Structure formats: structure tokens, C-alpha cells
Amino acid sequence: MRVEQISVFLENKAGRLAEVTRILSEAGVNIRALSLADTSDFGILRLIVNDTQKAKEVLRSNGFTVGKTDVVAVEVEDRPGGLHKILETLRKAGINVEYMYAFVQQSGNNAVIIFRFDNLDEAVKVLMANGVTVINGSKVYTM
């Protein structure tokens, strides 16, 4: 139920993000979801791509620092309170959400949110026990 996410560390200057997307595009790597967090000096670009290994290789060979993290893709009811229901379930189980971001594709009538948890395995167990759909990585890469 894990999804591989890569994190790319970027200098906070014009053109660096475009350089990453150019490299991935030329390598035939498709971006499925992304999040960009920044400070005044650097940014962290978090990506879900269709070919994690290839993305890491081409970015590293072009001088970027790249890390890999496991995250979880979760279906969230696309209605008022849909996200709250999931966050409340996690709160009751004592699971911390370290960060989250939206996925570009819906799953049926539901939104898809990418989560990073402090205890990933326990979070998946709690979500599934409470009827929440957790999406397998192989499905996420091809959505």
C-alpha cells in the first residue's frame, strides 16, 4: 500500500524547477503528483512519478540531490467534511500527519490525497479498518 515519493532539493532561484521538469520530460518520466515547499534559500520538490528509479537516476546524474520516501495515497470523499473524517480517524488513533498534498487525478467521485505519516504502517491499518480506501502504489503510478 506504499507509494514511492522522491524529494528533490532545489536552490531557490529562477529556472531550477524548469530544469527538473525538462530533465524528467526528456527521460520520458511522467509526473503524477507534486508538492513544492520553500524557504528563502532552498526548496523541496516532492514528486510521485511513473518511474521512480529512472527519475532518481537522471536527476542525480544532473547534479540534483534526491531522496526517496514512502507515502500513502488515500481516497477522500469529495464533499464537505470528507478530509475531516479521515483526519479525525487518524487523530483518534494518535497518528500524526507530517504533510499531505492533493493528487492530480480523481478516483471515481473521490479526491486522492497523498499523506506522509509518522507511523505509516499503523496509519494504513487504521484507515483500512475504518473503511477508507488506500490506493496501491502500482495503481497510483498509472492513474
3-class DSSP state of 17: helix
What mean pLDDT do residues 103-108 have? 65
User: Could you tell me the CA-to-CA distances from 117 to 2, 24, 27, 57 in Å, in that order?
Assistant: 11, 27, 30, 26
pLDDT tens sequence across 72-104: 999 888 889 999 999 999 999 999 999 998 876
pLDDT tens sequence across 23-63: 999 999 999 889 988 777 888 999 999 999 999 999 999 99
Continuous segment of H or E residues that includes residue 31: strand 31-38
Q: Structural domain boundaries of the chain?
A: 2-69, 70-141
- Domain 70-141 carries which CATH code? 3.30.70.260
Question: What pLDDT, on the 0 to 100 scale, is given for residue 56?
Answer: 97
User: Could you tell me the CA-to-CA distances from 125 to 2, 88, 106, 133 in Å, in that order?
Assistant: 12, 15, 23, 11
Residue with cell 470528507: 82
Question: What pLDDT, on the 0 to 100 scale, is given for residue 107?
Answer: 61
Continuous segment of H or E residues that includes residue 33: strand 31-38
Query: Model-level pTM?
Result: 0.80
Q: Does domain 2-69 have CATH number 3.40.50.720?
A: no
User: Could you tell me the CA-to-CA distances from 90 to 59, 72, 106 in Å, in that order?
Assistant: 35, 13, 22
